[in-house]
Amino acid sequence: MKIRNFGGYSLGEYLGGGLYTKVYKAYSFLAKPIYGNPVAIKILYLKGGIFERNKLIKQFEREAEIAMNLEHPNIVKVYNFGRFDNHYAMIMEYIEGKNLKEFLYEREKWDLKKILRICYLAGRGLEYIHQNNIVHKDIKPDNILISYDFEEVKITDFGIAKLQKKLWQKDIFPKSGTITKFGIISYIAPEQAEGYATFQSDIYSFGVTMDEIITSKLFIEGKEDEDYFKRIDIRAQRKNMGKQKILCDDLPIPFEIKNIIKKATEFETNLRYQSMTHLLEDLKNFL
């Protein structure tokens, strides 16, 4: 799209997006930009009839209102939102990096300590989200941003989040997954697939995310050049067939970490971690 003025910022590099939204890096032409320089701007693209458009606008506004009330070092800050130049847009914190999924596809492997630090920081963000009575509903590597120096780890995208006071309501968008060659890595807890997400549904998604990161990025002597799909596909197929409980079950990592992932991804919620705080305590004790 052509450069437009969004609250004193002009659009620059395209960063990514989905079916209805696109995110751009943006720069201010003001001497003292109110939100710093640069920022990220998320723009809503309206499609369909008037009913669908109104639904998209309400969902976009709800996402911004939820995110604007959150202040945490492990959550991407949303500064403001509104209608700029006939487009609905959200002005957000810019992270000089990329999402975790993009890192996973790279061949470079990481040691376990680095992986677990990333998981712990992302977990801190999710713990804070739950403390504010919000179910994120879309925890996955795609929605975790990491700076190039690996100092910043932040959760983003509250597009399908729900407030705790509305837990009894059936979810509108319960699905989430990643397609591999042999199937799908699904981050969705069984109850979320039925349309009733809870805090423990996010814990399940977080456990699947931990499992995927370790499996695809762990440095293993002699296997450091394996790509993402070689690490994931056969294991995903075995897991989907019920032949192994978690992707990293056969990898040379401490049983304590495997047990954390297994407990986070239990089918029955009463067997799962009851809170992110409990999971982080176990992870911190190991670290």
Give exposure, 5-38, as e/b (b: 16+ Cβ within 10 Å).
Answer: ebbbbebeeebeeeebbbbbbbbbeeeebebeeb
Digit-coded pLDDT (tens) for 132-152: 999 999 999 999 999 999 999
Is residue 225 part of the annotated active site? The answer reads no
Beta bridge partners of 27: 10
Q: Does domain 97-286 have CATH number 1.10.510.10?
A: yes
Asked if 52 contacts 98 with a C-beta cutoff of 8 angstroms, the reply is: no
Which pair of structure tokens corresponds to residue 125? 């963000």
Per DSSP, the three-state class of 54 is: helix
Residue spans per domain, the chain: 5-92, 97-286
Model confidence pLDDT, tens digit, residues 145-197: 999 999 999 999 998 888 766 544 555 555 566 666 666 788 999 999 888 89
Given a cut of 80, whether residue 25 has pLDDT beyond it is: yes
Q: Does domain 5-92 have CATH number 3.80.30.20?
A: no
Q: Would 5-92 and 97-286 be classified into the same CATH topology?
A: no
Active-site residue, from 85, 111, 138, 202: 138
